[in-house]
Homo-oligomer: A and B are copies of this chain.
Amino acid sequence: MASAEDVKELRKRTGSGIMDIRQALDEAGGDPDQAVEILRVKGQAQAAKRGGKTASEGVIASYVHAGGQIGVLVEVNSETDFVARSDEFQEFAREVALHVAASAPLYISEDDIPEEDREREMRILREQAAGEGKPEDVQQRIAEGCMKKWLEDVVLLNQKHVNEEKHETKTIEELRAALSATTGENIVVRRAVRFQVGEED
């Protein structure tokens, strides 16, 4: 029996009717991907198209560095269209895009760091500290201090905005929290991508 969750998900993915989806899921033994194929074979689903589903409000902002050698695209979400269209929200999105162009963060938030990346970094920092001939507890403190520094370096929300004069050395997270307080809405820096001409993938 198809779960309500699966049906809802497939309805979003295919635009098909609920009875068709239930039947396809049954035929597919509950496998959603196979159910999509069945729906498409029967002509009951649209070809999967990218995008379109709106989960929340917000804005896409871009920043291309003079000369077009670096470009950034960011999405910032709010809860309502009203806030998304406000000047202060749009300004925040632009400032984040500009910051990403200058600072090239690797992750949006600490939660986005794959466990593997974090462990590799900690292992390297521990071994670096071990090479300095200090007692073990000191080594541990050194490694932890370096880890904190690394998180400030590579995580967007932990970074101080590059325009330190304008933003009084506030971090992106502090600017986000301030905007959230002013607007009374949850504000989310959802994703960012940065292209630099000729860089390796």
Q: Which residues does A use to contact B, with CB under 8 Å?
A: 12, 37, 40-43, 47, 49-65, 68-75, 77, 84, 90, 93, 104, 106, 120, 123-124, 127-128, 131, 150, 153, 191, 193-200
Contact = CB atoms under 8 A, between A and B. Distances in A.
Nearest to A41: B127
A62 B71 contact: yes
- Copies of this protein in the complex: 2
Q: Which 9 A-B pairs have the closest CB atoms?
A: A60-B71, A62-B62, A54-B198, A59-B68, A51-B199, A41-B127, A51-B196, A55-B198, A73-B73
Contacts of A57: 197-198
B60 A196 contact: yes
B70 A60 contact: yes
Nearest to A126: B41
A77 B198 CA distance: 8
Nearest to A49: B104
A42 B129 CA distance: 10
